[in-house]
Structure formats: structure tokens, C-alpha cells
Amino acid sequence: MTNDNLTDPYDNRTPDNQDHAQATSGSSPLDLFKPAPDYRVTPILLWINIGLFALMALTGVDVMQPSSEGLIRWGANFTPLTLDGQPWRLLTCCFIHIGILHLVFNMYALMQIGPILEPLLGSVQFGVTYVVTGLMGSVASLWWHDIIVSAGASGAIFGLYGVFLALLTTNWLPAEVRNGMLKSIALFVGFNLMLGMSAGIDNAAHIGGLLSGLLTGYTYYLFMLRAGRSANQPLVPLLFPAALVLAMAVLVYAYTDNPMAKYEKIMERFGELERQAMDSFKLPPNTPAKGVADALSERGIPAWQEAIRTLQQADSLELSESLDRRTALLKRYSQLRLNNFQLLQKSLRDTTHAYDTQIEATERQINEVMKQLKASR
């Protein structure tokens, strides 16, 4: 799919659009980065995406294979955080990319469709379409995947191609022009959806963006092109796709379960209780045995009992096998600590060595479980 093929429709459009198509097709590719009267938003989007990637690189994010931590720090769509009070990630993830090749492919696709679609829709409506379809891609990704670290403009770009694909299935253009372009766009979309079935590619975002783009395209045709309206003319019906996407975003955000966020809170609470229990030993050096026993009884033992109850809350969550195994080890660890504290408390109160063997056995078991926990990280 080339720029030459994509500029064909402007031979049948308004003089302004035709002039712009001729200007962009006959000038340097660098001109695609320069705003023009009917081409303002596409260059801005290009510079935002490229600029953010440059900033990521300057802060140490790997330009070839960014780490999940780096992407999350810059606003990637990460299920536990997105669903735990950071819904803005649904939008910010549309402007950051997972490596330079990801950026190049997406920006090339944007430079192919932007000079055609923006003059047709109007700059404001083109920008709204990018945001709305990108947001829909993020929502679809959030709904489809249990846990995801997702980023990139692909959802929004699929949305833009979806708009154009919808228009090409109408009688907007003469059949002899429409059929060739329809085949080209359909092949482009189909190939990329097939490619998206490979591991590591978020096809849910592609499909979500594409479907919302198709809806926007048909809405635009029904209420704009058939009525002979010009680009940038206010069009209230185009608010319908945006409102629908926002409503779906709210529903997904409100009703999608977030087991990882719940698990993280359980782990945070467990960490607090573990510190509280171990702080039972932070006593003055001259504390008598009875004072240590009282501290274990009043603070340490209740903390371990609550830690076990806290970990049991994870039983109702749908977690990965590795997290289930780690939780089971933490339960075992907490139960052994509880047993150890109870034995120590008894030993300190009766000032005998009757419990020494049991205490040593539990300490060996605790050390073994701690080794397993360290290996499971």
C-alpha cells in the first residue's frame, strides 16, 4: 500500500484536499512532519510519539527491548495499576512504544493514512478519532487479558484505517477507484491482524481500535458525506462513537476483576504484619525473660495469626501457578513462625530447656522455606 494509491480519492474531492494531496505526494517525506492548513494533527501526533520515545531513551529505557518496569513508569497499560486508580493509563499507553521498531512501523502507518484521512475528516475530528479509537483499543486489551503490559499507537492507527475501510465499503467513491483501494486496505488490515496472532502482540487492542474505527467511519459517512458537509464542520452525531467508547471504558473499568491489585495489597499487608511480629524482639538488652515472653504473646503471636488469615484471602483469587505456589510457601512460613513464637514464649515463661529441640526443628524448617521463597522470586 503506497502513498500514490492512497491519494487517488482526492481527484474526486474538494480543491483544498486535492491541493494538499498533490503537495504531500510531490514533496519531501520530511514535509509530512510539518503542519499545514488542513493537516495539523498528524504532524503533532508524530512528534508526540517520537518525542516521548526520545525522552524514554534519555532516561535509560532500552530503545530495542524496553523493560516492563520502564514501560509502566512511562504510562503503559498495566492491569493491576490501571484498575487500581490509574485509568489514565488507558490513554497514555497510546503514545509510548515497545522499542524503536515498534515506533517506526506505527509512525510509518500513521504517515500513510494521516495525509488522506485528516483533510477528509477535519483536523479536530481526526484528532478525536485517534484518541477515541486508541482508547477503545486499550479498553479491549484490558477486558481481554488477565494481566497485560500494553503500549503503542497500534489501536489508534487500526482505528484510523477502520474509518477509511468503512468509507471504502460505501458508494462514497466510484467503484473503479474504490475497489482497488478497498483491496489494498483490507489486505493491510488483514495481514496485520494475522501478524497480531503471534506471541507478544496485543491483538485485542488492534481489534478494539478497528471496530471503533469502523463505527466512526459509518457514522461519518451517514451524517457527513451523504449530506455534503465539509471537513471541520461541527458534527454532533460523531459524538456517538466517542460516547459509546467512554461508556464501555467506564463499564470495563468498574466491572473487570483485578486479582493482581488485590494480591499486591495482600502482600503489602503481610509485609507489615511480618515486620510487626519480628519487632517483638526489639527490646532493651536487659529485658527479663518474662518481658520477652509478654512481647511475643501480645504482639508477635497475634501478628502471625493475622498474617495467616491475610494470606488465606488469596485463595479466592485467580492467580498464576507460580503465585499460588509462592502463597502456599508464605502460609507455611507464617505457620512455622507462629509455632516458633509459641514455643519460645512457653520456654521463656517456665525457664527450662524442655522446648529447645522443637524450637531448633522449627527454625531449620523456617530456613528451608525461606530458601524456597528466595528461589521462587
Which residues are marked as active site? 154, 206
Can you state the angle between helices 123-144 and 239-255, rounded to 10 degrees? Answer: 20
For the chain, the maximum distance between any two Cα atoms, rounded to a whole number of angstroms, is 100
Identify the bridge partners of residue 78 per DSSP, sorted by sequence position.
149
Query: Quick one: three-class SS letters along 311-375?
Result: HHHHHHCCCCHHHHHHHHHHHHHHHHHHHHHHHHHHHHHHCCCCCHHHHHHHHHHHHHHHHHHHH
Going by C-alpha positions, the residue among 244, 257, 261 that lies closest to residue 142 is 257
Do the Cβ atoms of 150 and 77 come closer than 8 Å? Answer: yes
Q: Tell me the CB-side half-sphere exposure of residue 197, using CA atoms within 13 A.
A: 5
Give the residue carrying C-alpha cell 504531500: 24
Strands (E), the chain: 77-78, 149-150
Do the Cβ atoms of 202 and 208 come closer than 8 Å? Answer: no
96: region left, alpha or beta (phi > 0 left; psi from -120 to 50 alpha): beta
Q: What is the CA radius of gyration of the chain?
A: 30
Do the Cβ atoms of 189 and 169 come closer than 8 Å? Answer: no
Instruction: Using DSSP, state whether 39 is helix, strand or coil.
Output: strand
